[in-house]
Amino acid sequence: MKIAMGADHAGFRLKDELKSYIESLGHTVADLGCNCADSVDYPDYALAVCDQVVSGEADKGILICGTGIGMTIAANKVPGIRCALVSDLFSAKATREHNDTNVLSLGERVIGPGVAQEIVKIWLETEFSNGERHRNRINKVKALEDKYAIHP
């Protein structure tokens, strides 16, 4: 798979560590920055990654900031993105099986690199369960996007 990755200044170190790990699993990574500790704004990187996912240029996206919260809020504003903030292995699996998430968000200041690697591996390897009840719920989320979409 092609994985688009983005981080702010509070997440770029974990991004860089995870990048080589994800490549070692056989995936291709598009690193969309940032790449240093200079202060930047997380929505800019969330948008860059989500653009690649909704356009199909990337199969999935991974976002990292200090808490993972800002990235998650920003990513879920993009129609077609289902982004989950994950800090534990159970949620990593469940959010693929139940929510068919296409973007994963992590907090560098919250979890260590070992847990982050395990979360990423499980999240990348778990398929959507495709159960009818889960599909119905995802369709209801899509209906929310339509209801509140701004049509110029």
Q: Which residues carry out catalysis?
A: 65, 98
For ligand RB5, the binding residue among 3, 5, 6, 8 (CB under 6 A) is 8
Contacting range for ligand RB5; rule: CB under 6 A; set: 22-30, 62-70, 126-134, 139-147:
62-70
The single residue among 22, 58, 67, 103 that binds ligand RB5, judged by CB under 6 A, is 67
Q: Which of residues 84-143 bind ligand RB5 (CB under 6 A)?
A: none
Please give the residues from 18 up to 57 whose contact with ligand RB5 meets the rule CB under 6 A. Answer: 42
In 3-state terms, what secondary structure has residue 114? helix
Which of 47, 54, 69, 115 is the binder for ligand RB5 (CB under 6 A)?
69
Are residues 7 and 15 in contact, defined by beta-carbon separation less than 8 angstroms? yes
CA-CA distance, 112 to 95, in Å (whole number)?
A: 20
**Coil vs helix vs strand at 99:** coil
Nearer to ligand RB5, 61 or 70 (CB): 70
Q: In what order do the strands lie in the sheet with 60-65?
A: 28-31, 2-7, 60-65, 103-107, 83-85
Span of 20-28, 29-37, 60-68, 97-105 interacting with ligand RB5 by CB under 6 A: 60-68
Beta strands in the chain (DSSP E): 2-7, 28-31, 60-65, 83-85, 103-107
Contact residues: ligand RB5, CB under 6 A: 8, 10, 42, 65-67, 69-70
